[in-house]
């Protein structure tokens, strides 16, 4: 995108704001066009009369979304837009602090998001639900994972030690969408897994857990869950980058060696 932007090297606040707005719009267009092209379909151009959320659904599916789908995507976009100094946002700010351009800073953020400890948890949740298949199999499946000491994605958070407030909204949205789509089993399985995790592991669902079923029932392919996260977080990333530019100081953490003392033999300088 930077190669096609005549303002790439213009670091004025006005130009950077324009680039941030364009990036927010372009990311949604890129993600949906990628999915359609790989499925042998022509990309769908965005419409100026649709909202950001409605345009994403329209460009992805080629048909106008209903009110429920638009609302679900709008809520998801808002809830994922920003979350203080998470790994990808911090990476973007570190790059921006060197006064590199906004495209380079966003590239750093995307690279951090690619890591499975940051992005991708909701993909793992949906694959797990598909593997379980039916609500009656939940208990045995989850307890088998406990026995194997395997992690269940979508639970726990580095910041929230009680319920993730974003999960509260997505739980309600997941239930409504699954019931409307006649696919209530996805919500039922999720709710039972959450119940077991809270009672036996004292872990709460995070934002990724119920976003999985929410995205699935509106027709989003599993491998687009993380790219959609980037569509949402682009507004947050660019806001942080603009803030960094506005009051910049190079981000340069110090490092102190605290390992074992090296056992090295050496000669004093006057004996060499």
Backbone angles phi, psi at 155, to 5 degrees: -130, 145
Q: Are 142 and 196 in contact (CB under 8 A)?
A: yes
d(CA 60, CA 48): 16
Q: Which two tokens stand for residue 49?
A: 């009369």
Catalytic residue selected from 80, 101, 208, 216:
208
Polymer length in residues for the chain: 272
User: Active site includes 169?
Assistant: no
Does the annotation count 118 as an active-site position? no
Q: What angle do CA 62, 68, 71 make, to 5 degrees?
A: 90
Distance between CA atoms of residues 231 and 28, nearest Å: 5
Q: Report the C-alpha gap between 97 and 79 in whole angstroms.
A: 26
Paired tokens of 93: 């700010």
Distances (CA, A) of 146 to 45, 127, 204: 47, 18, 16
- Given the residues 80, 157, 216, 240, select the one marked as catalytic: 157
Please give the positions annotated as active site: 157, 208
């Amino acid at each position: 995108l930077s190669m096609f932007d005549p303002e790439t090297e213009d670091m004025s606040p006005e130009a950077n704001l324009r680039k941030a707005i364009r990036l927010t719009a372009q990311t949604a267009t890129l993600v949906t066009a990628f999915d359609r092209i790989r499925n042998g379909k022509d990309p769908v151009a965005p419409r100026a009369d649709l909202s950001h959320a409605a345009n994403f659904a329209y460009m992805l599916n080629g048909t106008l979304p209903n009110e429920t789908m638009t609302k679900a995507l709008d809520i998801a976009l808002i809830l994922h837009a920003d979350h203080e100094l998470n790994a990808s946002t911090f990476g973007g700010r570190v790059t921006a602090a060197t006064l590199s351009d906004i495209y380079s800073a966003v590239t750093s953020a995307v690279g951090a998001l690619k890591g499975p400890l940051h992005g991708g948890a909701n993909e793992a949740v949906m694959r797990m639900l598909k593997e379980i298949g039916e609500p009656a199999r939940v208990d045995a499946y989850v307890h088998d994972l406990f026995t194997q000491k395997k992690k269940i994605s979508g639970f726990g958070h580095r910041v929230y030690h009680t319920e993730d407030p974003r999960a509260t909204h997505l739980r309600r949205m997941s239930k409504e969408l699954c019931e409307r789509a006649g696919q209530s089993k996805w919500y039922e399985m999720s709710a039972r897994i959450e119940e077991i995790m809270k009672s036996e592991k004292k872990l709460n669902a995070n934002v990724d857990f119920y976003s999985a079923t929410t995205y699935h029932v509106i027709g989003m392919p599993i491998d687009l869950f993380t790219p959609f996260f980037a569509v949402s977080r682009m507004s947050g990333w660019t806001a942080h980058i603009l803030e960094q530019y506005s009051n910049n100081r190079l981000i340069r953490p110090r490092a102190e060696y605290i390992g074992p003392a090296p056992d090295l033999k050496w000669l004093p300088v006057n004996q060499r």
